Structures are given as structure tokens and as C-alpha cells.
Structure 1
């Protein structure tokens, strides 16, 4: 859920040169909260690039290299100041990001919120619409599924705890199970070795843990390594948000029970298509678009496996 070259400390060059050929077309900038290290966002980059090519518009992807949200706020301000036709942005922390987003809207730049935040928050900041997966609802649905499978306790490996939407996933899972979140969520950080060690330490201290929930490849991949090391792979119930090559392999191997697919390709692709048609023809969908959640299991892996990390 190849890396782009940075043109400045916080700005990424327009992706895929073909989109730059649309010199007379509209310009749309997607700003995410993701650090450069998070490979899950490659699918988002592919989505905006393909939409730019198909709609004959200019597209750019920008992000804070370390995932710092204050840095992201500045990038949104810079994007708005460059005078694009539209900005597509995540809303990882409403309090930090609402100011620059509302300022962009006030300056005449159309905005679509994608991936994080809520439809209600999108309306509050003046965005045209929201395209994404309601994070708490997805966590709640996952918790209900796990409860039906007999899970009563769990470890939530939160690799991006500074983002409220990540905590919503863990909280929703706990509520779906009907248990308190309490200390069942850990701040795993983003270093793979640290994530692995913290998972091993938690499971050693809490050997009766029924299940593990990870929030994407950044935390899922090292967690699988931890389970291989302590011999729990395939024995402990394991669900994860998002998809990636190693997650798909884990589902195939029986290490991971299911992955929650929020379809990041659509989260980037659809806003470009919607904005282009809005600016050209004045048409706009009447409702927000939920791109997920959908549960991917070993029974439905053929297309997912083929396109994992690229379009899925």
C-alpha cells in the first residue's frame, strides 16, 4: 500500500512523464501523509498516474518523507499556492490539517479528501466529496468477524500511532470484539526490526493472546517474521489491513487469515476522474464513495495476487 525522486525535501516530482504531456490540461496534486518508506502507497501512485494519462491531465504526488503531519500541512499550503485546479489529500489528523485545507478551498482550489478522515470531516473542510474507507467501521467489521471466529483478545500493532485514523482501526476492532482496547495496542514505530522485536516481546509477556491485527505492510511484514521466529505462524489468528506482496504470500501460506482491502488504487484514480469531469462538464457524484472495506481470503486471491502492490 519504484519510489519517486524528491525534487526538494518535501516535494516529489510529477509521476510518470506521460502525464506531463498534458500541458494544456488541468493540474491535480495528491498530497498524502505517508512516509517514503511505506510501500503500500505505490498503488496510490499508480492510480493517480493512470488517471492522469487516461484523462489527459497533469498529476503530481507529494508527501512528507518521514510522515510528519506538520510537514504535510506545509506541503498542502505549497500545493495550493502553486495554483492547481484541484488538490486530493488525505485527512490523517483533522486538527493539524483542517487549516491548510480550508485555506486552499477559500482560495478557489477544489479539494477531494481520500483515504483517511471521514465524509463528515470532508464536508466540514469544504471538500467536494470523500473517497475512502471509513476506518472505524472497517475495524469494527473486522472485530465482528474475528469474534465470530472465537477471538477474545488481541494485539494491535500500530505502526503509525500519531495518525488518529490508525487508532480508529484498533479501537473499532476492539469494539467489534466487545472488549476494551486497553493495552492491547502497541506503538510499534516504523523500523522493521523494532516492530518485530516489540511483537515478540508482547507475545512473550502475553502468551494467551488470541489474535494479531496489523495495519498494513509496514507492520504486517515484520510481524510475520516474528511469528516465524517464535513458532506461532499459522497457529495464532492474524488479520491485517491493506494488501501487499508479502501479505498475499502470508494469506496463501495460512499465516494470515484475511486482509482488509480498501482499494487504494480507486482512492487515487477516482478523484482525478471525478474532478476532471467536474471541471470540464460540471457533473459531480451526489454521494461520497466508499472504496472499502472488503475482506480478502485465500479463496479469492487470483487477481489480487496478480496485481498486489500495483493495482491492489
Structure 2
């Protein structure tokens, strides 16, 4: 499988570190040797896992499959939490998770450092192992420990913008529309990286605050896109903040009467819908952050910490670019819900 690689600043997937402010002792329970093929060496460990979106969500469903695979491979008892990408709901669910006193919690970091910090302190005092996925909370991890599994957001976003400039023939003076969680601190780091790259290249950038609910119902963006083109018909590029909306690019383009390639559509992730949009010529570029690993590795890490006292893992899941030239190499895996 060939995937275009990102710049060396962040291109290596699976960089495992030992950044932990809190040290967890190995479980006194006799653990099976993980080197023995079929042994469920993490049996007896209880984990609360945050999937992020809703069941069936194009991104969350891949995270979920990764977590389920880790549960099957290692044998812990995992309870899954679906949040619809709503940060307040995630925080309420985290409070409930801490109160249930599991051995470990794998938490989406979307609520940000400030909101999660007091809850992370409670978890640390309770001896709960914490992992974070998809959105990093570096201040929380520096103070209370925990690992992170996900893309290095700002470099990922900046690299996407630079790759679009390099490969799509965009030039100084062209206009881009960038969706993101603008106005929500810590939630638009990746989109800011893309915006900075486009502005540096001399492009005009229009930022639009996307709706979290669009992850479940991408059609919610249609009025925003038609409205943006009504005011700025010269828009040449649209940057989507998630794979759910990038996969709906054909619908959006038909809503504004654009043929494939008349407007470039780029963003993040892969999915069956995105592969179909590549096939039809509506999507030109996406940055793959391998959500399966964002499900699998946090559970693996919690098990290793609980059973053997290893430091939490830190893994950059950013794999590289998928474009019109190489998308068929990941198509089968995407259609199976694994990429």
C-alpha cells in the first residue's frame, strides 16, 4: 500500500514515547505473558473508552472497530461511550466514568486542557490510568500524566495546506473556504495550521465555524456552503474539518452547480464516502490520521500500564496523504471501515 508521506516533522507514525507525569505501579494480579500468542493477558482490567461520535459515524465507527479489536486481542472489559462530538456531553460522561472507578479511561480531548484539567486531577487521585485520543491535551498530560494517540494537529493541518498548494495548482490570490471549530479554544489547531499555510502562499482565506452535528448529518453544511458561494463565487478550494463532511463533497458541489474539479475539496480522513468522492472526481486530497489506531492503541497502552507498569504511549497516527493518484491503494480497507 502506497501513501504519500508527510514532511519529516511529523511523518513517522507510531512514535512511542514515555511522557508521563504520573507513574502507575504494575497490577499485583498475576498477568499472562503477552508474548504467548493466544493469552488474554489483560483480563480483569476495566476500561471506559470514549468513541467520540455516534454509532455509525464515519470516523467514530473506525475508532470503535479499533477499540473492539484491542478488546478482543487483549481481553479487558471495555465499556464504550458515544458523545456525538459534543464537548459538554463528553465532560459529563467523563465525570461519570471517574465516579465508576475503572482501571483506565481513554478520553477524547476535544473539551480542551482547561475543561479537562480538574477531572484529570480527580482521576489521578483515584489512581485511574488516563489516555487521550484524537485531540491532545498537553497541559493536562504534563501535570497529571497520560498518553496521546492521534495526529500532531498543527503540523498535520499545515502540511495539508502546503500539499494542496504544491499539487493542485493553487496560486496567490485564490480564495479558500476553511471549516473549523473557530471560536472554541483548542478545537481548531489543525485548521489553523492549514489556514496559515494558505495565507503564507498568498491565498485569501474565509473561515466558517462548522457545526459539530454535521459529523452525524453532513447535510447541515449545505446552507453554509451555498451562502458562502453566494457571497464569494470565486472560491477555488474548500477545506473540511472532518471526513464525514469531506465525504459529502459531491452533495455540496451539486448544491452549488459545480462539476468535478471546478472546486477543489480537501480535508482529513478516509471513508467509503471519501473513496467514492475520489472516484467521481469531487475530492482531490485528504490527510489520513488512521482512526483505527486511535481506538486500538489507547486500550493496548492502558493494559500495558496496568499489568506491567509501562509508561503511557504517545503515538502520532498521521500516516500521510491520500490523493487522486494513490487512493485506490487504501480503497478496500476504507470500504471495510478500517481506514
1:174 is aligned to 2:195 = yes
Q: Which residue of 1 aligns with 2:291?
A: 264
Q: State the partner residue of 1:6.
A: none
The answer for the alignment partner of 2:10 in structure 1 is none
Determine if contact 1:139/1:171 at 8 Å carries over to the other structure.
Answer: yes
Residue 130 of structure 2 is matched in structure 1 by: 111
- TM normalised by structure 2 equals 0.76
Query: Residue 243 of structure 1 aligns with which residue?
Result: 270
Partner-residue secondary structure (3-state), 2:49 = strand
Give the drift of 1:139.
Answer: 0.8
Structure-1 residue corresponding to 2:14: none
Q: Which residue of 1 aligns with 2:334?
A: 308
Aligned twin of 1:75: 93
Q: Distance in 1 between matches of 2:323 and 2:227?
A: 28
2: CA distance, partners of 1:168 / 1:24: 37
Shift of 1:161: 4.9
Distance 1:194 1:274, change over 3 A: closer
Q: Is the 8 A contact 2:105 2:131 kept in 1?
A: yes
Matched, 1:186 2:186: no
Cα distance, 1:33 vs structure 2: 4.0
Post-superposition offset of 1:166 = 4.3
Number of aligned residue pairs: give it.
288
Residue 242 of structure 2: aligned partner? 216
Identify if the C-alpha distance between structure 1 residues 165 and 225 changes in structure 2 by more than 3 Å, giving closer, same or farther. Answer: farther
Partner of 2:253: 227
Counterparts of 2:205 and 2:196, CA distance in 1: 14
2:247–2:271 Cα contact (<8 Å) kept: no
Aligned pair in 2 of structure 1 residues 300, 289: CA closer, same or farther (>3 Å)? same
SS at match of 1:39: coil
- Alignment check: 8 A CA contact 1:155 1:211 kept: yes
Shift of 1:273: 1.2
Structure 1's 284 and 95: CA in aligned 2 closer, same or farther, altered over 3 A?
Answer: closer
Partner SS state of residue 299, structure 1: coil
Does 1:61 find its partner at 2:80?
Answer: yes
Instruction: Return the match for 1:89 from 107, 121, 142.
Output: 107
Aligned match of 1:133? 151
Structure-2 separation of matches of 1:192 and 1:274:
33
* SS at structure 2 position matched to 1:295: strand
Aligned position for 1:155: 177
Contact 1:34–1:41, Cα closer than 8 Å, also in 2: yes
Q: Counterparts of 1:36 and 1:239 in 2: how far apart (Å)?
A: 25
- Normalising by structure 1, what TM-score? 0.83
The alpha-carbon distance between structure 1 residues 226 and 117, as it changes in their structure 2 partners (threshold 3 A), is: same
Q: Corresponding residue for 2:32?
A: none
- 2:188 counterpart SS class: helix
Question: CA separation in 1, counterparts of 2:157 and 2:278?
Answer: 19
Which of structures 1 and 2 has the bigger CA Rg? Answer: 2
Between the aligned partners of 1:226 and 1:282, the Cα distance in structure 2 is 49
Any stretches of 5+ residues in structure 2 without a counterpart?
A: 1-39
CA 87–162 in structure 1, closer or farther in 2 if over 3 Å, else same: farther
Q: What is the DSSP-based 3-state SS (H/G/I as helix, E as strand, rest coil) of the residue aligned with 1:30?
A: strand
State the alpha-carbon separation in 2 of the partners of residues 29 and 182 from structure 1: 43
* Alpha-carbon distance in 2 for matches of 1:24, 1:290: 27
Matched, 1:204 2:241: no
Among 11, 32, 45, which residue is 1:26 paired with?
45
| CA separation of 1:302 and 1:148: change in aligned 2, threshold 3 A | closer
Unaligned runs of 5+ in 1: 1-20
What secondary structure is seen at the aligned counterpart in 2 of 1:300?
A: coil
